[in-house]
Structures are given as C-alpha cells and as structure tokens.
Amino acid sequence: MAGESANEGVLEFIKRCFRQRQIMWTYHVNMRLEKRRVTREDIIASTESMEIIEAYPQDRFLPCYLLFAQREEKAIHVVVAVDVSGDNVRIVTAYEPGPHEWEPSFKIRRKSR
C-alpha cells in the first residue's frame, strides 16, 4: 500500500519525539489518563512497540494517528497529533482498547453489526 512507506516515516518521527521527550500532553489526556488506568510511564515505556493502526492526515489542526502500543501484556491505544514544524507530538488521548470494539489483536476495529 502506498501510504505504508509514508506512515513508516511518520512513525519514526513519532518515536524520535517520544525518545527525546518532545511531547506535549493535552489537557484532555491529562484529565483522562487516571480514569482509564493508563499512565504517562505506560505510554513512554511502550515507545518501541508503537504501530500506526489508523491515520487521520486531514484532521482539523494537525495530522493525527492512532497508535497501538504494548507495555508488558497491556495493550494501549494512543492518539497523537504530529507537529513536524514544531518538532513535537501532542498526545490527544490514550486508553486501553476493549474487546467489544476491537478484534483480539486490538489493531483492527470490529465491523459494526
């Protein structure tokens, strides 16, 4: 698929931003993390396992990506906005995906019935 190689470059940018702590935590994610049993440490520690599972390049302000990540046995979804010109990523939200909406791999949405 043509978008895969473009996504690889984006994924490397995202991972570099995480490694270098060029991360902005949005108000929304700060308010939601505790309730969703996901910590900042979970997100940062799962950097190397991150995969882009959905892309929203035409999002309202910045291109956004839904990432699948794993910390130990815990699956995590993280939505990031990518600010290439600002050389950072903004974490929009993060949560543990549920089996009702996601296939067992937590990388593919279940088809609505």
Second-level CATH architecture of 2-95? 2-Layer Sandwich (3.30)
Structural domain boundaries in the chain: 2-95
How many CB atoms within 10 Å of residue 93?
A: 17
| Range 42-57 average pLDDT | 96
- Residue 11 has a pLDDT of 97
Per-residue model confidence (pLDDT) at position 1: 38
Q: pLDDT band for 28, please (50, 70, 90 cuts).
A: confident
pTM, two decimals, is 0.90
